Structure 1
Amino acid sequence: MKTGYKLPEVTFHTRVRDESIEGPNPFRWEDKTTSDYFKGKRVILFSLPGAFTPTCSTYQLPGFEKGFAEFQAEGIDAIYCMSVNDSFVMNKWAQDQKLENVGVIPDGSGEFTRRVGMLVRKDNLGFGLRSWRYAAIVNDGVVEAWFEEPGLCDNHSEDPYGESAPETLLAWLKEANAEQAA
């Protein structure tokens, strides 16, 4: 995946809250496409190996959530977290993390992740197929900047983190915006 690349058009099977549904699970299925999330917006997309995992839940997702206002000030319209998890898991994780600013995208089948070249095996952790950790700044569906953790491979013995950290993206945005202003 490189700068200038148009994101692949896929359909995500999501569960959305529907107040007309009674009971403990007031959600309905709603298919959303890549265009639904990215068309006409400048967004941050970050992807990680799995909901509820330590680095993802302790650093990466909370960092983007807490830094949302700073990202908005640098011209970002939305921030999305993607994982090769189903919508039930992603929604529960969003609830657990008390998300108000970051949206979650369930790539349950891994189709989007495969098509951007980030699908890896994590059988060594009992995960199966998952996403390699990365982040991107996407402008109207086109990759403006790409931040990939080093060492992309199946069954990596570590979970590198730093290139796709919120701080890295914020620094890039500030520098890019300063260059445009000059």
Structure 2
Amino acid sequence: MKAGYKLPEVTFHTRVRDDSIGGDNPFKWEDKTTADYFAGKRVVLFSLPGAFTPTCSTYQLPGFENGFADFQAEGIDAIYCMSVNDSFVMNKWAQSQELKNVKVIPDGSGEFTRRMGMLVRKDNLGFGLRSWRYAAVVNDGVIEAWFEEPGLCDNHGEDPYGVSSPETVLSYLKEAKAEAVA
């Protein structure tokens, strides 16, 4: 659906560790742009409804984290997890998941998600505006392959999961690599 689409230029407000600050909260604000994350790299981006939610924390994020070496073997430089959550929440979630490989991107205002056409209302769950679940292979800021869960709509009664799973994305990468060699 979105293959060939260039990612929107957005500034993300992140909190990064700075040990020179000291104390219990050694973090500083650091703005990052779409180019900072995606320029000159082939990456997997996956976005989900919310940090700390069951499907995201139990299957999707751990699957990408634990399969990182497999993705690297297929030519992926980085894996990014995005959610319409602020940097404090995303950093705490990354810490609680003991992430070493997957990097989190906070889309606190939902601007990137909105411009991707994936911002939905989740008022039925008390979430407000959130991302519909999807994954993409992004090459130098351009979508190479798109994996969107079915049923995109506001206040969906379920949380579909499968199309954007690590297994599906890895299968695509292996097939694409085999086709390129053939």
TM-score by length of 2: 1.00
Classify the secondary structure of the residue corresponding to 2:177: helix
Q: CA deviation at 1:66?
A: 0.2
List runs of 5+ in structure 2 lacking aligned partners. none
| Residue equivalent to 1:64 | 64
| Residue equivalent to 1:29 | 29
Q: CA deviation at 1:22?
A: 1.1
Aligned positions of 1:120-135 closer than 5 A: 120-135=120-135
Aligned AA (1:86): D
Classify the secondary structure of the residue corresponding to 1:16: strand
Classify the secondary structure of the residue corresponding to 1:177: helix
1:137 pairs with 2:173: no
1:98-133 per-residue CA deviation (whole Å, 9 max, x = no partner) reads 000000000000000000000000000000000000
Q: CA deviation at 1:37?
A: 0.1
1:46-71 per-residue CA deviation (whole Å, 9 max, x = no partner) reads 00000000000000000000000000
CA distance in 2, matches of 1:24, 1:83: 25
Aligned positions of 1:5-20 closer than 5 A: 5-20=5-20
Aligned AA (2:130): R
| Residue equivalent to 1:48 | 48
In percent, how many aligned pairs have the same letter? 86
List runs of 5+ in structure 1 lacking aligned partners. none
TM-score by length of 1: 1.00
CA distance in 2, matches of 1:2, 1:46: 14
CA distance in 1, matches of 2:161, 2:55: 8
Aligned AA (2:178): A
- RMSD of equivalent CA atoms: 0.5
Q: CA deviation at 1:40?
A: 0.1
| Residue equivalent to 1:155 | 155
Aligned residues: 182
CA distance in 2, matches of 1:81, 1:153: 21
